[in-house]
Structure 1
Amino acid sequence: MQFFTSDTHFFHKDLLGDNDFAPRPFANVDEMNQTIIDNWNARVAPGDTVYHLGDIALYFTRPASKSDEAVFEVLSQLNGNLELIKGNHDSRALFKHLAANNYVDHGEDKFKFHDVGALIKYDHRQYYMTHYPMMLGIVNQIINLHGHIHHYAVPVKENINVGVDTPEQRYLDQKLPFGTPFSTSEIEQMGQSFATSNSA
């Protein structure tokens, strides 16, 4: 199966607590990281594919290689093969570290990398996946899946925010536990519910 997420911001302590941009009600980053890992693995099976649309982590150490190692250890605990699209907080050094330590998981590389975006087909439509929201104009059967804007949304049906703190979960029948990647059926439900609620 295929899943989608963005803006996990592992280790990002400045997001903890209540704030206007990306509130995270956790006592510390270890609790936040483990919550995302647990909820991710409750949904994603080994061998599934997860498209992560950027801003994997925000963690700075000296030497910097220690933070890259810590992020690698967290990502290695996540089920599925990860298609990583570079976000504005993802360094090339991190991607190089993940590439250098890549390994085969259920017949596929654990990590695959995309600098700008990726395109897949699903049920007679295309998902164009980027970190930043893209204004595609009026298009047929193309949906831009993105992150970056946390609890904000682009008010057009061609854009769906798949970040862990997206407000677009309100279009689902049931809110998912924090950090749970979205399935293709949930992406479709978000898009259809948005279009229906804004067609009046």
Structure 2
Amino acid sequence: MIYFTADTHFYHEELLGMNDFAPRPFADVATMNETIVTNWNQRVQSEDQVYLLGDVALVPNKPTAFAQVNALLGALNGQIILVKGNHDNRAFFKYLKKHDPGTEAHPHYQFVDVGALIKINHRQYFLTHYPLLLGKVSQTVNLHGHIHHNMLPIAENINVGIDAPERELLKTPLPFGTPLSVADIEAILTAKQKALTQLK
């Protein structure tokens, strides 16, 4: 199975509490981190792939901090394909590559600097951290993160961040931090298309 998520912001203390940008009602970052790991692992199996579209963590630019994040990511099920976000730097990705908890034959991480394009069920998915303006498309969707609290008024732009408003379009709410499946993406796309049509 393939899953999608973004903006985990592990260790980002400033996001704790209720705020307009990315409300995360946790007492501390340890509780937030543990919640994300638990909910991720309840859905994702070891043989699955998860595209994490940027802003993995907010930590000092030091190997000791990178090691903390690596230990946390190592506890997550599945192979993680990391797309670079604005809070991710190349030193961090280089550290993860050098200290990959997987094996050479089956690495835990893959890395994408700007974005990826994948095809599933006759649909193209552009996977980026920042949202793209695709223009007029029929079978192409941009999965992105970055904007947290905003839903772009374009059906083909779907924010897959863990605190994105698109998640509220699902009939069954997902626990905080749960990566989205392809079926979730399709359900969100359908609901968003319907909602935007009704606004016209």
Q: CA RMSD in A?
A: 1.3
1:8 aligns with 2:15: no
Question: Counterparts in 2 of 1:1-200, with a 5 A limit?
Answer: 1-60=1-60, 64-104=62-102, 108-200=106-198
Consecutive unaligned residues of structure 2, counting only runs of 5 or more, are none
After TM superposition, the score normalised by the length of structure 2 is 0.96
Tell me, yes or no, if the aligned pair for 2:6 and 2:145 is still in contact at 8 Å.
yes
Tell me how far apart the structure 2 counterparts of residues 31 and 87 of structure 1 sit (CA, whole Å).
23
Count the aligned residue pairs.
198
Q: How far does residue 171 in structure 1 lie from its aligned partner after superposition?
A: 1.4
Is this contact kept in 2: 1:47–1:105, CA < 8 A?
no
C-alpha separation in 1, matches of 2:168 and 2:13: 26
SS in 2 for 1:187: helix
Runs (4+) of structure 1 moved beyond 6 Å?
none
Consecutive unaligned residues in structure 1, runs of 5 or more: none
- The amino acid that maps onto 1:32 is M
Alpha-carbon distance in 1 for matches of 2:104, 2:179: 19
Give the TM-score normalised by the residue count of structure 1.
0.96
Identity in percent: 52
Q: Distance in 2 between matches of 1:8 and 1:36?
A: 8
Q: Distance in 2 between matches of 1:139 and 1:114?
A: 24
